[in-house]
Structure 1
């Protein structure tokens, strides 16, 4: 797993963000914040490369998107933090699951077809129309395809072993999500937390201007 401080030691609040599959920090680079920001990504391994120091923070907020929901559930305990709020966005704790995640057959087809064209198709499917696709040029990750393919495969194998659960305070579900199907998200989210509906597709961040917008939504 990669951990990177994007913004550090500017105040007493911090957002810990668990990114989606194949992403890097560009995925959320447009979001403003007065908080510090730590981003976790690349789930080829769930081992932490270092233990971040959160001792100066009086408020910690956890935001997890897509595959980051599963990764957060299985690693946030290692961070020794007690977030004020845990927010899941367009993902579940069961990445490959017919009832609670991405159906097994769909995941296998995605994995098998993950070449340059397949990656472009995936990014297109997670967005909501031509306007989002045009904006996403600035948020598209700068990661090599082979490591993204490896990450996709290893999420599948690791998720069969690592099945921890987390107490979520808010769960965001986009109405047009076709990556993590809405029905499966709702199956997982039912009874767990307050469910917030969002417009658009799997990539939810064009609904917000800042991290504070997400926290307060």
Structure 2
């Protein structure tokens, strides 16, 4: 995995942003994450978190995990003692689950396998567009889409598939104290997200899968309240 700073203001608060599959820093360059410094994690071709810990500062940490990053953060908490030792002031999951490739609690298995089996530039763009329910937001994303090749994205997709479907991911810990359901999601069905977390344990947000351009996005940034 790779890590980079999205914003660094010398704040006492650091938001650790575990992003989803196929991402890079480019689409987030103008997203308002509040007053905190923001350290982004992406590219899950490898789950080696050394680069993250080379950058992670001391201070007040918040976790924001989105899409496949919800699973990735939980996976690290189980498999990486350094990550498990981190203490987060808040931990938010949005638009993802601990079982991300699952017919009842994640992306339907057939959908994921079809994506993996026939991945192409056209499939990549179709996926990116499916993250939105607003053409204007989709076009904004595509104008600054991640600078990553189709080959690298396929490698990442394959690695996530193998890890998520392995027995070691069967019972990952729930490390979150906020779980936001993206009810307009066309990637992770909202009903599967609710089923995964339980109705009493989550908050519904009228958001697409990629919620960061939405006018309602402030509800997902915990450091807005710090």
TM-score, reference length from structure 1: 0.89
Contact 1:3-1:49 within 8 A present in 2 as well:
no
Post-superposition shift, 1:199? 2.2
Q: 2:63 is matched with which residue?
A: 62
Pairing partner for 2:103 from 98, 106, 115: 98
Q: Which has the higher helix share?
A: 2
Report SS of the residue matched to 2:213: helix
Post-superposition shift, 1:55? 5.6
1:107 maps to 2:112 = yes
Report SS of the residue matched to 1:64: strand
The runs of at least 4 consecutive aligned structure 1 residues that moved more than 4 Å come to 208-213
1:78 maps to 2:82 = yes
Distance in 2, matches of 1:28 and 1:109, equals 28
1:199 maps to 2:197 = no
Q: Which runs of 5+ in 1 are unaligned?
A: none
Pairing partner for 2:174 from 166, 171, 180: 166
Q: 2:135 is matched with which residue?
A: 130
Q: 2:18 is matched with which residue?
A: 18
Post-superposition shift, 1:205? 0.8
Post-superposition shift, 1:189? 1.3
Report SS of the residue matched to 1:10: coil
Report SS of the residue matched to 1:17: strand
Cα distance per residue 1:47-91 (max 9 Å; x no partner): 11332465631x211001100001010114533311111101101
Q: 1:192 to 1:142 in 2, by over 3 A?
A: farther
Contact 1:26-1:138 within 8 A present in 2 as well:
no
Distance in 2, matches of 1:2 and 1:13, equals 21
Contact 1:31-1:208 within 8 A present in 2 as well:
no
Aligned CA RMSD, in angstroms, stands at 2.3
TM-score, reference length from structure 2: 0.86
Report SS of the residue matched to 1:75: helix
Q: 1:34 to 1:71 in 2, by over 3 A?
A: same
Q: Which runs of 5+ in 2 are unaligned?
A: none
Number of equivalenced pairs: 215
Distance in 2, matches of 1:187 and 1:52, equals 37
Post-superposition shift, 1:115? 0.1
Distance in 2, matches of 1:53 and 1:146, equals 27
Q: 2:37 is matched with which residue?
A: 36
Post-superposition shift, 1:185? 0.7
Distance in 2, matches of 1:116 and 1:186, equals 32
Post-superposition shift, 1:103? 1.2
